[in-house]
């Protein structure tokens, strides 16, 4: 799965978050524009949306393309020919390992053109880690970890993907996306290590904390008594708590994940 395909797929669900946290634009209603540009080799823009009186064009770039200003200028002219009455905003989001060396303008005696380049390595990962969408968590791997331990960030992403995905196939799909994008940060091996640490957790155990509780409630309901329901919930919590302790070996972190205090956690682990 190539990075550009992954990012186009992710953008469908997170375009407002990308505009807000990568670019600094807050928009309400957006319309995706599916336009083929016959005079441009790539035919379609990575992202082209209409938002109020603006047309927003985004290209994702994983390497330094010194012809990028010309490419963006050609896109601009094609877009302008169709949307003359709109403000046209153009962005290249750079996800490469290296430093960005691309120019963001063309300046000659008779022609001036400028667009925006954003290097995701300068965007704090917290902006995406706080969003409860699998696509946003996958994007977080590209951003700036600051002084945080990369392994802790990765572990957090993997666990929350378990919580937010609906089934094992979806979870695996997002893991493949995560692994591919992580090559831009040289983190693929670190991700695989953290996956190994969680391999004893099955989908039955922890697709989400809530599912575990629901299954416990269902067992109780089969008995038709409230006591059975409560016992089922406690058994589900106890099983999940033990699995998480094996994975993280940190009572404080596990208590935080389960949203209980450490004393209650210790009671569960008895």
For the chain, state the CA radius of gyration.
Answer: 23
Per the model's pLDDT, the better-predicted residue between 261 and 236 turns out to be 261
Range(s) of the domain holding residue 25: 3-122
What does the pLDDT look like over 186-200, one tens digit per residue? 888 888 887 776 655
Digit-coded pLDDT (tens) for 3-18: 777 888 888 888 999 9
Model confidence at 248, pLDDT cuts 50, 70, 90, reads low
pLDDT tens-digit readout, 50-105? 999 999 999 999 899 999 999 999 999 999 999 999 999 999 999 998 999 999 99
Burial class (CB in 10 A: 0-12, 13-18, 19+), 208: middle
Is there a single domain that holds both residue 147 and residue 257?
A: yes
Q: How far is Cα 177 from Cα 9, in angstroms, rounded to an integer? A: 10
In this structure, the answer to whether residues 176 and 66 fall within a common structural domain is no
Q: What is the DSSP letter of 198?
A: T
- Does 133 or 208 have the greater pLDDT score? 133
146 with 254, same domain?
Answer: yes
| 138-158: average pLDDT | 90
Average pLDDT, rounded, for the chain: 82
**Domain match, 159 and 112 both:** no
In the chain, how many domains are there? 2
pTM: 0.71
Structural domain includes residue 131: no
Same domain, 81 and 181: no
Q: 208 pLDDT exceeds 80?
A: no
Pair (111, 152) in one structural domain: no
- For residues 202 and 225, state if they share a domain: yes
Whether residue 158 lies inside any domain: the answer is yes
Do residues 256 and 152 both lie within one domain?
A: yes
DSSP per-residue codes, 204-231: TT-S-HHHHHHHHHHHHHHHTSHHHHHH
The residue out of 122, 157, 177 marking a domain boundary is 122
- Give 206's pLDDT tier (boundaries 50, 70, 90): very low
- More confident: 27 or 250: 27
CATH number at residue 70: 3.40.1350
- What are the residues whose beta carbons fall under 8 Å from the beta carbon of 46, sequence distance 6 or more? 4, 7, 8, 11, 58, 59, 60
* 113 vs 266, higher pLDDT: 113
């Amino acid at each position: 799965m190539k990075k550009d395909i992954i990012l186009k797929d992710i953008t469908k669900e997170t375009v407002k978050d990308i505009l807000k946290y990568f670019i600094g634009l807050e928009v309400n209603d957006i319309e995706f524009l599916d336009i083929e540009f016959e005079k441009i080799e790539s035919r379609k823009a990575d992202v082209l949306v209409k938002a109020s009186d603006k047309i927003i064009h985004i290209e994702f770039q994983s390497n330094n393309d010194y012809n990028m200003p010309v490419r963006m200028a050609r896109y601009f002219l094609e877009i302008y020919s169709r949307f003359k009455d709109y403000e046209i905003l153009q962005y290249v989001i750079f996800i490469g390992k290296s430093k960005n060396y691309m120019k963001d303008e063309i300046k000659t005696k008779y022609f001036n053109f400028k667009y925006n380049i954003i290097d995701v390595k300068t965007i704090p990962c917290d902006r995406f880690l706080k969003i409860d969408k699998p696509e946003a968590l996958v994007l977080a791997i590209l951003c700036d970890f600051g002084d945080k331990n990369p392994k802790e960030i990765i572990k957090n992403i993997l666990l929350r993907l378990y919580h937010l995905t609906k089934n094992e196939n979806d979870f695996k799909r997002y893991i493949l996306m995560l692994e591919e994008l992580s090559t831009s940060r040289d983190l693929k091996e670190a991700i695989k290590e953290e996956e190994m640490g969680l391999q004893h957790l099955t989908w039955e155990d922890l697709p989400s904390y809530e599912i575990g509780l629901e299954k416990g409630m269902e067992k109780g309901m089969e008995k038709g008594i409230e006591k059975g329901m409560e016992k089922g919930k406690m058994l589900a919590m106890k099983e999940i708590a033990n699995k998480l302790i094996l994975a993280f070996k940190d009572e404080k972190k596990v208590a935080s994940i389960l949203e209980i205090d450490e004393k209650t956690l210790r009671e569960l682990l008895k």
